[in-house]
Amino acid sequence: MDIRSVGIVGAGQMGNGIAHVFALSGYDVLLNDISEDGLKKAVATIDKNLERQASRGKISEEDRAGAMGRIKTTLALPELGPCDLIIEAATEREPIKNQIFETLAPHLGAQTILTSNTSSISITRLASRTDRPERFMGFHFMNPVPVMQLVELIRGIATNTDTYDTLLAVVGKLGKTAASAEDYPAFIVNRILIPMINEAVYALYEGVGNVRSIDQALKLGANHPMGPLELADFIGLDTCLAIMNVLHEGLADTKYRPCPLLTKYVEAGWLGRKTQRGFYDYRGEVPVPTR
């Protein structure tokens, strides 16, 4: 199938990044959100990030202008229905995702492919709630989308080969690299990454090290570009906890038990960079460890 138009549900950090890369690659993009302010902020963010790319010579000014011209926004979810490809990039809560697909159902084109950018939820289960499980896939981008090269492609039990091949070709056109994952909790990247972050939180919880020493140890001792607690703040502690809960419930193994300290931070509303406090406090000029 030739994909030309792409509908994106959710204009947050992931959604605006996905819109950015699709528009820059020549696709017509229709970006949806529940908030007009959210849409305006997303478009402003995309414009700023494209301008940064242009100023660094990575794209031309014509590329930037063309990409911005291909992005349209809407508050009306059904307007995405005729798009060739729809990417759900809403919050990591299964009931919300199911509601989105149910709302879209009466308005979808016959050949529309549905995908979810979920980082951990069962693709087979999400697909089963739609009228087209054979044309449903996990399409998991990494954050920040314009920078990160990887896209995880996750087939549900009913996904057909044409759908997979179509999305594989789309990833290539975006200039990114696809990794195929089976439909098991958290797929590949987060199956490995988030338990590592959870273990770092346990090391903090048990007093093995403080925030700064744990992050410094992994940056200098394992050559990680970002320490695990700093990375958790970047991802969002609520997202980390949600993925750990999916792993714990889906695999029934105690090694995936979320650290109580991670739960406590989320309960406090200290979710990382997006709330200005997490394992670091971002309200000053320089991030300061909170433990």
CATH 2.60.40.1930 correct for 189-289: no
Q: CA 181 from chain center: how many Å?
A: 16
User: CA torsion 222→225→230→236, rounded to 10°?
Assistant: -110
Task: Provide the percentage of residues in the chain whose pLDDT is more than 90.
Answer: 97
Q: Describe the crossing of helices 36-55 and 13-24 by its angle, rounded to 10 degrees.
A: 50
* Nearest Cα residue to 6 out of 115, 105, 96, 138: 115
- Tens of pLDDT, residue by residue over 166-198, are 999 999 999 999 999 999 999 999 999 999 999
Confidence of residue 260 (pLDDT cuts 50, 70, 90): very high
* CATH number belonging to domain 5-182: 3.40.50.720
pLDDT at position 283 is: 97
Residue 130, SS3 per DSSP: coil
Q: For the chain, where do the domains classified as CATH 3.40.50.720 start and end?
A: 5-182
227: pLDDT confidence band, cut at 50, 70 and 90? Answer: very high
CA distance 84 to 65: 23
Q: Has 11 been labeled as part of a binding site?
A: yes
Structure tokens at 58: 């990575």
Is 15 annotated to bind a ligand? Reply is yes
Q: Is 97 known as a binding-site position?
A: yes
pLDDT confidence bin for 264, thresholds 50/70/90 = very high
55 appears as a binding residue in the annotation: no
Q: Which residues contact 40 (CB under 8 A, 6 or more apart)?
A: none
pLDDT reported for residue 1 = 80
Question: What mean pLDDT is predicted for residues 270-286?
Answer: 97
In the chain, where does the domain assigned CATH 1.10.1040.10 lie?
189-289
- Encoding tokens for residue 63? 């590329």
The answer to whether 272 is a known ligand-binding residue is no
Is residue 33 annotated as involved in ligand binding?
Answer: yes
pLDDT digits (tens, 9 = 90+) for 122-156: 999 999 999 999 999 999 999 999 999 999 999 99
- Average pLDDT of the chain to the nearest whole number: 97
The phi-psi region of residue 262 (left if phi > 0; otherwise alpha if psi is between -120 and 50; otherwise beta) is alpha
Q: What is the mean pLDDT of residues 65-73?
A: 98
117 marked ligand binding residue: no
pLDDT score for 266: 98
Residue 92, pLDDT above cutoff 90: no
| pLDDT band (50, 70, 90) for residue 29 | very high
Tokens of 134: 């054979």
Q: Does 255 appear as a known binding residue?
A: no
Position 240 pLDDT exceeds 90: yes
Active site residues per annotation: 119, 140, 152, 190
Residue pair 101/127 in contact by the 8 Å Cβ criterion:
no
The answer to whether 143 is annotated as binding is yes
Taking the mean position of all CA atoms in its chain, how far away is CA 67?
A: 21
**103 vs 52: CA distance, rounded Å:** 36
